[in-house]
Structure 1
Amino acid sequence: MLENKGVLVKAGYRLLLVDKDGVLVSEFQLTENALGQPEAFVAALRESIESVEEEL
C-alpha cells in the first residue's frame, strides 16, 4: 500500500472511464491479482460500460 496525502492506495494501476464530457463514470483498481484474472476484469468492465450506456 502507498500513502498519498493521508490516503492509502494499493500499488498498481487505475483504469478510469470517463464520458465524452470528461465526467468520471467508473474507476477500476488494476492490481496484479486483477490482471491475473483477465476474464473477470473484462466482465466487470463490460458490465460497467453497459450500465453507462443504459443511462444515456
Structure 2
Amino acid sequence: MEQDKLIFSELGESKEGPIRKHYFLTELGFTAYNILKLNWDYFYEIIQKVNKNTEELQ
C-alpha cells in the first residue's frame, strides 16, 4: 500500500519497548477507502434485501 501511495509510515518513539512504525492514510488512501466503503455499503444493502426476500419465501 505504501508503493501505491495509499499510506505512509513514520518511525516513532515508544515509552515502552522498541521504536514503533506508525501508518497513516494519504489523501489518495482516504479516497480509496471512501470508494471501498461505498461499494461495501452498496453490496451490504443488496445482501440485506436478498436475505429479507428469502425469509419472506419461507
TM-score by length of structure 2 reads 0.37
Higher-RCO chain (CA-CA 8 Å, sequence separation at least 6): 2
Which protein has the bigger helix share? 2
Q: Larger Cα Rg: Structure 1 or Structure 2?
A: 2
TM-score by length of structure 1 reads 0.38
